Structure 1
């Protein structure tokens, strides 16, 4: 009996120690465990490839939970949703941003919770009716979509280029043939091309001194312009302005004279003056004609002047004296009464 009692006591003590150790470990590790997990329903637009159940949920880069379920929206199969479990100590508020994040280009995806102001209310959730969060498009999704658009545009451009080449194949072939002919012509006339290039080089060498001269001319012109005294320029402008003013005054006087002359010409007395002027003009005309005729005859018969040309010279002299007499009479008449010459007889 005594031996059995010792075995029972030892067994009870051992069992108590084991239970105490388990209790201590459970108590010690319980401080590091979350107080509870809150469930949220995160709705995604588009593909969520790479996301699977068990993937982490991050809050500002710290893991605070995991993904428990992934499925399609019953009313809209183009969208998907994920049920996530988040540590109850994490403040998921109404302004918390949600999006997918990827570890590298081919890594696994995670649900990232970012930003939350302390003034926004905390979202209420429960296991039976989890709060709904709408995820923003991730940077990786934007990159993939942009790459797809670029690839589509590039494919469209290549298709258009192929169609253009097919539609214009004859013209392209003709252009290539013309280029080939031109190349052959250049090869056949390489000596001429060489001479042409040499001539162009000579032209360049000839033009180079000209550019130096033009530069010198430009410098000299600039120096001349700088040497001009501005006060002299202003004085010249002032003199020109005064001359223009005098011309304007003279023009007014000329206008007045022309007006008076026009009034005189419109009177009946001007007819006598015009008649006398007309008679004088006729006399000058006859004198000019006679002089011209006599001059031609004189030069034609100059060799015979010593014999019978004196008579013709006498006639020419007589005509000249007659014309001079008429001019003398006209001049005396004007000197005697110039008012009659200008304004007619009264």
Structure 2
């Protein structure tokens, strides 16, 4: 009987140890690793954040959410949501050594600008996560809602910032502007409805006139093409006739050119002779000048005779006396 109980107890103890081993190996429990607990206090909605949600540092998982609760302050009538997180210091190396968050301490990291922010992990499932980062340019607002734990200041999440931006939008003014725009569009639509039929009629008439002008221009172009064709054919015939006439009259033109050349040569010879006769000291010129003097003297004698006959016509019968 004792041996049987011992055997059953051994099996039960082995099952418990095996279950613990499976739980340690395949779960997120780290019983032998140091952990640090901290609190983050949110005033806005933490929708999507549940126990077990990850705590990350720029996308790297460094912890998990362990507890979420709500605290209401009747004096200020404000609600606070402290979120207790469990950090795993072994995942963080500070400096070049293996100093962990536990060794350096969260207060120093908070003083250096460590802040927490609630962000959406998946827009499909709506799950949220807490993202840690150093932002020394932001104020560190501490609420001290859980005094026994170190507090990490929080910043408005992306969704909260979007909600604040939407809340700050002048929706009333936008609605009034939209209403005025719709009224203006309606007035413009009515005005267009009044102007559109005459405009369509004018466009139709313009189109008809354009088609008529196009038809007239097409006919004129066709007539011009026909005339241009006839003119080109006439020019072609004229050119052909000219070529034939030039070919037939080529011999005559050659003879005419030769005769012209001979005439030019004779004219040049005649000019040469005339120039020789007209030279100042040439004998023919002296003979011509003497003949001209004799003719001048004869002309003077005839002129004197004519004057004498004019005064005394009887000189033809009696002659001049001695």
User: TM class, shorter-chain normalised?
Assistant: 0.3 to 0.5
Task: Please state which structure has a larger fraction of its residues in helix.
Answer: 1
TM-score under structure 2 length normalisation: 0.42
When normalised by structure 1's length, the TM-score is 0.40
Q: Which of these two proteins has the greater Rg computed from alpha carbons? A: 2
